[in-house]
Amino acid sequence: MKMYKFVMPEIIFGNGSIRRVGESCVRLGAQNVFIVTDPGVIKAGWLEPVIESCKHAGLTYSIFSDFTTNPKDYEVEKGAKEYMASECDAIVGVGGGSSIDVAKAIAIVATNGGKIHDYEGVDKIKRPLPPLIMVPTTAGSGSEVSQFSIILNSEHQIKMTIISKSLIPDIAIIDPETLVTKDRLLTATTGLDVLTHGIEAYVSIAATPLTDVHALHSIKLVANYLRPSVASKTNMDAKEKMAMASLQAGLAFSNAILGAVHAISHAIGGRFLLPHGDVNAILLPHVIEYNYISAPEKFLHIAEILYPHKNGISTVNAGDLIVAYIRKLQDDIGAPKRLRDFGLAEEDADIISRYALEDACMITNPRDLTKEDIKAIFLQAL
């Protein structure tokens, strides 16, 4: 029998849970918290309830928001300096994947020293991190429950993947109400990122029965609720279901890791500073077409979830059905479909395939890829 390991933080899920940040920090022994959030979150009004709950719990706080999407190494180093100068004793990340990844990376550098580059790869963190509380405001990245942090190496324009059990936050607070301020395109592309997490985790060579249950349920939730969530900012039922989809996909991929979509997406996102969800949304059907022969039974299960009332689904047609489903979903929700719309061109194929081949997410892809295979996928997605 194979041995399984499954890691996850304490999870607080529900409308209004963002007001639990202060008491959650106190439970972890914090007195002075370092809040990492981005200007968009502040503008949307989600920093206020966090600050109120900290004040209510008797905590003092500092705020760091001096970073950008696809967060950079030098922004992490600035944040780590500010954290140390502030003498805070816990870190709260509030926002999308960028805010949470920066919060984690600041924790690494502040307690382990050196530069964030020293921790690229698997299990390089040696000293314990301060208490981490993460509050996602996009149903997408899954970083609030994952052992990942993705930071851009600004000199080489490559996304560094840092994987360590130390990066699993102590508490993840998931409040579906925060999703009502997302615009339509962000809802669509982050939702397709969730679908990508579910599918890549399910077909990963590191998948286990413990990750499969979360991966499959996240796929089902996206199939049923992404369209209504994109259609209405105030459909709370759809927002709650998409928040749960994001959470379950995050639990699945944190433990089963990902695959070629994320490996290629990291290479493209690092080089051209493009939004993660948009790039994944474009690559997903092309990678499924390539990966299909590696796990026809698993793709059959996915097709059965996407087409619950259809007869005659088999391992022969499941791959084509999944790809057709995703293309229709992209059309319905207005998601991008071509890399060339973001300014990419044929001459970029070589460098992207070189970097993608070395990405940590490629290791768990169910089908082997050569540089030429990646190039072919890139050109199809162009």
Q: Which residue is nearest to Fe ion (CB)?
A: 193
Name the minimum Å distance from CB 265 to Fe ion: 7
DSSP string across 116-141: GGGG-EES---SPPPPEEEEE-SSS-
Identity of the residue, 109 or 192, whose beta carbon is nearer to Fe ion in the bound complex = 192
Q: How far apart are CA 129 and CA 260, in angstroms?
A: 30
Name the minimum Å distance from CB 262 to Fe ion: 6
Identity of the residue, 53 or 70, whose beta carbon is nearer to Fe ion in the bound complex = 70
Residue whose token pair is 């050109």: 379
Helices marked H in 16-72:
21-27, 39-44, 47-56
Neighbour count for residue 91 (Cβ, 10 Å): 28
Of 211, 205, 246, 210, whose CA–CA distance to 225 is shortest? Answer: 246
Name the minimum Å distance from CB 308 to Fe ion: 26
Looking at residue 235, the DSSP 8-state letter turns out to be -
Name the minimum Å distance from CB 280 to Fe ion: 6
Q: How far apart are CA 121 and CA 103, in angstroms?
A: 18
Residue whose token pair is 């840092």: 162
What SS3 string covers 85-114? HHCCCEEEEEECHHHHHHHHHHHHHHHHCC
Identity of the residue, 20 or 276, whose beta carbon is nearer to Fe ion in the bound complex = 276
Identity of the residue, 131 or 275, whose beta carbon is nearer to Fe ion in the bound complex = 275
Identity of the residue, 53 or 143, whose beta carbon is nearer to Fe ion in the bound complex = 143
Name the minimum Å distance from CB 368 to Fe ion: 22
Query: Residue numbers of the site for Fe ion (CB under 5 A)?
Result: 193
